[in-house]
Chains A and B, each alone.
Chain A
Amino acid sequence: SVLGKAAYGQGKSVLRVIPHADLKNLDPIWTTAYITRNHGYLIYDTLFAMDEDFKPQPQMVDSWTVSDDKKTWTFTLREGLKFHDGAPVKAEDCVASLKRWGARDGMGQQLMNVTDSLEAVDDRTFEMKLSVPYGLVLESIGKISSNVPFMMPKRVAETDPFEQIKDYTGSGPFRFVSEEWTPGSKVVYEKFEDYVPRDEPPSAAAGGKVAKVDRVEWLYFPDQTTAMNALLAGEVDYFEQPANDLTPILESNPDITVEVNDPLGNIGFARFNHLLPPFNDPEVCRAAIMAMKQEDYMAAGVGDQKYWNTCFSVYPCGTPNASEVGSDVMKVGDPAKAKEALAKTSYDGTPVVIMQPTDIPLLSAFSLVTAEALRKAGFKVEMQAMDWSTLTSRRASREPVDKGGWNMFHTWWIGADVIDPMSIAFSGDPEKGWFGWASDEELEEARKAYPLAKTEEEKLAAAHKVQERLWAIGASGHLGQFFVPVAYSKKVSGLIRSPVQFFWNLSVS
């Protein structure tokens, strides 16, 4: 590492970034962690990528054809693509990478369910044969958020999908410098000189990925205040997710730009456990939702009005699927009304156990607001504090409360993850669904219909049906849409608007 340090410095441009989290895993297929996804975007390229309008655009793929029965898809790679070890990117690499992704990712699994074969035809061409016409092929392959089908060399992609990869040879515009990786503190990327960007201007994940700095350093700061001070003192250039409350200080500094980069924002979720009383009764869930007032959550958790808005759609407001169909229950926001509704239900005073992740201030605040609201609505509430990692292990438990189970927890999804009904967050399958295990066959049918829809109208109808069912069974409380700004030094330019943080096109003067 001494050599590494000596090597840079003179005349090389460095972008020093405070990432939103510590990079712990380097396998973006194995984990869904956003930080690993961002890492993936730095070092891997994708076949397709989503543009600003949430449309998939070719990225590594040069051209593709679809058979008339919409069942056979043929893709041809661009020329000159190289892995970081110098080997050319071949179709077989992409096939292996897609297969590995398909074994882990929710959307990928759905795609693989309808895929009969996926094979390389020659070095630059591969073919995908489906059993049914499927409407989300490109949307899946061009998925913008976790898990993103990143293209790895075949030897790497053949790693068991449930084991982490150990070889970090990538295909993207930056190269991972493993010698300088200090987990918990520092990750270093260097420009990959042989990367061939597309000619189009960048548009979200799509377009030309031009590395404009020689080196990107992620310097993880566990402490927000220290992180902010470091940016103010000019010790770093880019602060990915400053706490909303810190933005006034950052904004007051003329050398620093604060702006919202993610048009979709994040959606706050209050999740019920539908297996256990009292939330095994949808009416009780709906009563609880009525007690939730989005303004309270947003004010408590986010603060400054310019970073949040209420949003009564289950899809992020501002995206094609967003609507308020069936959302009345969410709009109530009044414990008194909730109390009336609760009185009509079977609720017998069973205490509601809320898991409060104390190491995440936003979710901690959400939990407190919920607790207060539910108490006012006549629920008996028991808060159980824990850290997020305990919560993630406990929320997997389907046991009754006294055996380590739970009734509620809070989280948020980034907008891009809940943009359509395919998100696991909307599952109605009590077996394979998301924690909380909402169960509704109608809901599942509507979700299945979505990718099979022939027209945009049908698609939209399916999406709205999903939303209606979600509200009908009181699957989750939606707590509002909020935006986390980025803050960076005026020396930095070339930021790409996108729900995901990218580091190409950024330059430091």
Chain B
Amino acid sequence: MALAKDTAEEEGVVGARREKSALGLVLAHRGVLMGGGLLLAMVLVAIVGPNFTSDPMALNPTQRLKPPSMELWFGTDFLGRDVFARVVSGARVSLVVGVAVAAVAVAIGLFLGMIAGYIRALDAPIMRIMDGLMSIPGILLAIALVSLSGATLMTVIVAIVVPEIPRVVRLVRSVVLTVREEPYVEAAIAAGTRTPLVMTRHILPNTIAPLIVQATYICGSAMLLEAILGFLGAGIPPEIPSWGNIMSEGRTYFQISPWIIFYPGIALAITVLAVNVMGDGLRDTLDPRIARKM
């Protein structure tokens, strides 16, 4: 990096600094730093944490509903399971759901959005389907999908992805529609560049920044939605300790053992907050045009 900068300056290249520091700019943003740091910590906890806690699944009916103590930091739930261990391993589920949903939604949305934006004939059919999907309230759709097709991690991810797709498609399509009018794209067409190449080489890169930003928001809302589904009893199998499940199971005990809901709730809120703060930061730095809009 230092080397690149030096040579750039040697050549007297104007503006090289600006280009090189895009990453630096992103990293220097307070939101990205704070949110990212927090998130990194969460990821670490999710990856190595479970090795250091007790078994989150181990039942201990004699230790039911014990309040937090020195041994059991977050207390126990109605089956005497260690809430701390469960919250720590719940981080895995939330992060996996968040990341998987964001990745899948972005991948599918990117594909459909590019097609809709670029191929005139397919625009209307794709967008009508997306409008239809969009008009079904996301939570309803997800509840229905999960409880109708059986609760597994897979179905939960699918159920959360489906309502997110139209938003990504719209975003990508709008970027494609504006970018395809850019003179440089028209110049490429005029130079005989084939359509797939025009799309990947000239249009696709423009979608990346807004997509990264969008992906963080999707990630955050997916984690929330997963928890809500779990809470409503239509989430991931309760055997897997996800934050939503822990809270759902703790719901009945809210007034006698509030810690069962409290700790996973805090963990969830903090994680989503971190993701969102990071998203805002990324948006400010990566995509100032959208930043002003949103």
Q: Do chains A and B touch in the complex (CB under 8 A)?
A: yes
A residues bordering B, Cβ < 8 Å?
223-225, 228-229, 243, 245-246, 248-249, 295-296, 299-300, 303, 356, 358-359, 361, 364-365, 368-369, 371-372, 383-387, 390
When distances are taken between beta carbons in the complex, the residues of chain A under 8 Å from B265 are none
Q: Does B291 contact A (CB under 8 A)?
A: no
Given A245-B65, A372-B59, do A385 and B251 touch, yes or no (CB 8 Å)? no
A356 touches B238 (CB 8 A): yes
Give the 4 A-B residue pairs with the shortest CB-CB distance, closest first: A385-B237, A299-B61, A300-B61, A359-B233
Q: Chain B, 37-80, contact with A by CB distance < 8 Å: what is the 0/1 string? A: 00000000000000000000111011011000000000000111
Are A356 and B237 interface neighbours, CB within 8 A? yes
- CB pair B239–A368 under 8 Å, yes or no, is yes
B residues 220-262 near A (Cβ < 8 Å) are: 233-234, 236-239, 249, 251-256
Q: How many residues on B have C-beta within 8 angstroms of the other chain's C-beta atoms?
A: 27
Expressed in whole angstroms, the Cα–Cα distance for A383 and B152 within the complex equals 11
Are B237 and A243 interface neighbours, CB within 8 A?
no
Provide the bound-state CA to CA distance between A296 and B59, in Å.
Answer: 9
Interface string of B18-52 (1 = CB under 8 A from A): 00000000000000000000000000000000000
Name the A residues within 8 Å of B251 (CB-CB).
223-225
Q: Which residue of A lies closest to B147 (CB)?
A: A387
* Separation of A383 and B237 alpha carbons in the complex (Å): 9
A304 CB → nearest B CB, Å = 9
Which residues between 112 and 157 of chain B lie within 8 Å of chain A, taking CB atoms? 147, 150-152
Please name 9 pairs of A and B residues whose Cβ atoms are closer than 8 Å in the assembled complex, sorted by A. A223-B251, A225-B252, A245-B78, A299-B80, A358-B151, A369-B79, A383-B237, A385-B236, A387-B151
A119 vs B78: C-alpha distance when bound (angstroms): 55
Give chain A nearest CB distance to B247 CB in angstroms. Answer: 12
User: Contact partner of A300 among B59, B151, B152, CB < 8 A?
Assistant: B59
Point out the residues of chain A lying under 8 angstroms from B252, CB to CB: 224-225, 243, 245-246, 361
* A297, closest chain B residue (CB): B61
Query: Residue of A at shortest CB range from B245?
Result: A358
- With contacts A300-B79, A358-B151 taken as known, whether A385 is within 8 angstroms of B238 at the C-beta atoms is yes
The distance from the CB of A114 to the nearest CB of chain B, in whole angstroms, is 44
Cross-chain contact A225 with B59 (CB below 8 angstroms): no
Smallest CB separation, B179 vs chain A (Å): 45
The CA-CA distance from A359 to B152 in the complex, in Å, is 15
The distance from the CB of A402 to the nearest CB of chain B, in whole angstroms, is 14
- Chain B residue numbers with a CB within 8 Å of A246 are 252, 255-256
B238 (CB) vs chain A CBs: closest residue: A358
Would you call B256 and A358 a contact (CB within 8 A)? no
Do the beta carbons of B239 and A385 come within 8 Å of each other?
A: yes
Contacts of A224 in B (CB 8 A): 251-252
Whole-angstrom CA separation of A296 from B79 in the bound complex = 10
Interface of A is mostly: helix
Contact assessment for A358 and B237 in the assembled complex, using a CB-CB cutoff below 8 Å? yes
**How far is A17 from B62 in the complex, measured between Cα atoms in Å?**
33
CA distance A295 to B78 in the complex (A): 15
Contact check, A364 vs B238: say whether CB atoms are below 8 A apart: yes
Question: Are the CB atoms of A390 and B150 closer together than 8 Å?
Answer: yes
Whether the pair B64, A303 counts as a contact (CB closer than 8 A) is yes
Shortest CB distance A105–B (Å): 31
Residues on B with C-beta less than 8 A from A243 are 252
Beta-carbon contact of B62 and A299 below 8 Å: yes
Distance from B67 Cβ to chain A, minimum over Cβ atoms (Å): 13
B80 adjacent to A300 (CB under 8 Å) = yes
- Which residue from chain B places its CB closest to the CB of A242 in the assembled complex? B252
Q: Which residues of A contact B58 (CB under 8 A)?
A: 372
Point out the residues of chain A lying under 8 angstroms from B59, CB to CB: 296, 300, 368-369, 372
A364 to B151, CA, bound (A): 14
CB A406 to nearest CB in B, in angstroms, measures: 13
CB of B166, distance to nearest CB on chain A (Å) = 27
Query: Contacts of A372 on B, CB cut-off 8 Å?
Result: 57-59
- Chain B nearest CB: distance from A427 CB in Å? 29
Q: B235's closest neighbor in chain A, by CB?
A: A358
On chain B, the residues within 8 Å of A387 by CB distance are 147, 151, 233-234
Compute how far the CA of A390 lies from the CA of B238 in the bound complex, rounded to whole angstroms. 15
Give Cα distance in the complex from A429 to B147, angstroms.
33
What separation, in Å, do the CA atoms of A387 and B238 have in the docked complex? 11
Query: Which residues of the partner chain B approach A386 to less than 8 Å between Cβ atoms?
Result: 150-151
Residues of B within 8 A of A358 (CB): 151, 233, 237-238
Check B64–A300 contact: CB distance below 8 A: yes
| B61, B150, B233: the one within 8 Å of A296 (CB) | B61
Q: Are B256 and A245 in contact (CB under 8 A)?
A: yes
Whether B256 contacts A248 by the Cβ 8 Å rule is: yes
CB-CB under 8 A from A228, the residues of chain B are 255
Q: In the complex, what residues of A have CB within 8 A of residue B249's CB?
A: 361, 364
Whole-angstrom CA separation of A228 from B256 in the bound complex: 12
Residues on the B chain within 8 Å of A303, using CB: 64-65, 78
- Are B61 and A383 interface neighbours, CB within 8 A? no
Interface positions of B from 75 to 106, Cβ below 8 Å from A? 78-80
In angstroms, Cα B151 to Cα A132, docked, is 51
Specify which chain B residues have a CB less than 8 angstroms from the CB of A225 in the assembled complex: 251-252, 254-255
Which residues on A sit within 8 Å (CB–CB) of B237? 356, 358, 383-385
Is A361 in contact with B78, judged by CB distance below 8 angstroms? Answer: yes
Chain B residue with the shortest CB-CB distance to A386: B150
Q: Which of the residues A245, A368, A390 comes within 8 Å of B253, measured between beta carbons?
A: A245
B262 to chain A, nearest CB (A): 14
Query: Which A residues are CB-close (under 8 A) to B57?
Result: 368, 372
Tell me the smallest distance from the CB of A295 to a CB of chain B, in Å.
Answer: 8
Closest to B236 in A: A385
Measured between beta carbons, the chain B residues less than 8 angstroms from A369 are 59, 61, 79
Nearest Cβ distance between residue B75 and chain A, in whole angstroms?
14
Given contacts A356-B238, A358-B237, are A385 and B151 in contact (CB under 8 A)? yes
A229 to B62, CA, bound (A): 27
| Smallest Cβ-Cβ distance to B254: which chain A residue | A225
Distance of B148 from chain A, by nearest CB (Å): 9
Among the interface residues A224, A296, A358, which one has the most CB atoms of the partner chain B within 10 A? A358
Which residues of chain B come closer than 8 Å to A229, judged between CB atoms? 255
Complex Cα spacing A472 to B152, Å? 36
Instruction: Give the Cβ gap from A396 to chain B, nearest Cβ, in Å.
Output: 16
Q: A299-B64, A300-B79, A365-B79 are in contact. List 7 more A-B contacts (CB 8 A).
A: A303-B64, A356-B239, A361-B249, A368-B239, A385-B151, A386-B151, A390-B147
